[in-house]
């Protein structure tokens, strides 16, 4: 079964294109691109204001394989939920621990209230847990992420336990077949 979030052959939403959004290229997700490590505060060196400077030569992993849920065909995310507009990169069906969850990573320090409210309402309506993050800043630099869970109390407790054990410092950009810890 194919999951509509990070598979290289996931269909793109009709009429939706990445550009002008480049949130995943700006380092809000961590990845290695042609020997360059991007992370919060350190975007891909090939990312330009108009888009990818090496678009036709961009690598398969992670650039061609990663597709956020806003781009997926029949995405339930409204137009305003494009990552650069809503302030979050959203994956509606991400494997986390032992279940599928909604995952939202901020484009910036935190996910804006409007976006987080929409995601919590969606999670509640679809009975799917939500894992979301806030960035930790130390001396003006992003130094890690704090993980939160929204859903049943047992799920929130599991997220809290997992977060205490993981020492999470960045959220990696995952491709087909990969599963985050």
Q: Strand (E) positions, 45-179? A: 47-48, 51-52, 88-96, 99-106, 130-138, 141-150
> Counting runs of H as helices and runs of E as strands, what totals does the chain give?
3, 8
- Which H or E element spans position 162? helix 153-166
pLDDT at 173 over 70: no
Q: What is residue 88's predicted lDDT score, i.e. its pLDDT?
A: 97
Reported as a pLDDT band with limits 50, 70 and 90, residue 176 is very low
Instruction: Give dist(CA 164, CA 149) in Å, integer.
Output: 13
Closest alpha carbon to 41 in 108, 134, 104: 108
State the pLDDT at residue 181. Answer: 41
Q: What is the reported pLDDT for 177?
A: 40
**Contact criterion met (CB below 8 Å) for 92 and 69:** yes
Quick check: helix, strand or coil at residue 46?
Answer: coil
pTM comes to 0.82
Residues 41-99: tens digit of each pLDDT: 889 999 888 888 888 888 988 888 889 999 998 899 999 999 999 999 999 988 888 88
What average pLDDT is seen over the chain?
82
- Pairing, β 141-150 against β 99-106: unpaired
């Amino acid at each position: 079964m194919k999951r509509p979030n990070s598979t290289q052959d996931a269909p793109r939403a009709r009429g939706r294109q990445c550009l002008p959004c480049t949130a995943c290229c700006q380092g809000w997700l961590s990845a290695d691109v042609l020997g360059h490590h991007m992370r919060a505060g350190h975007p891909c060196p090939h990312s330009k204001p108009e888009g990818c400077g090496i678009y036709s030569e961009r690598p398969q992993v992670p650039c061609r394989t990663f597709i956020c849920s806003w781009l997926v065909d029949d995405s339930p995310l409204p137009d305003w939920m494009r990552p650069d507009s809503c302030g979050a990169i959203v994956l509606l069906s991400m494997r986390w621990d032992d279940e599928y969850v909604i995952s939202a990573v901020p484009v910036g320090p935190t996910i804006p209230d409007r976006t987080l409210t929409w995601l919590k309402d969606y999670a509640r309506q679809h009975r799917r847990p939500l894992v979301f993050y806030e960035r930790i800043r130390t001396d003006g630099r992003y130094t890690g992420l704090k993980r939160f869970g929204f859903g049943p109390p047992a799920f929130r407790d599991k997220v809290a336990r997992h977060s205490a054990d993981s020492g999470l410092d960045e959220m990696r950009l995952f491709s087909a077949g990969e599963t985050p810890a």
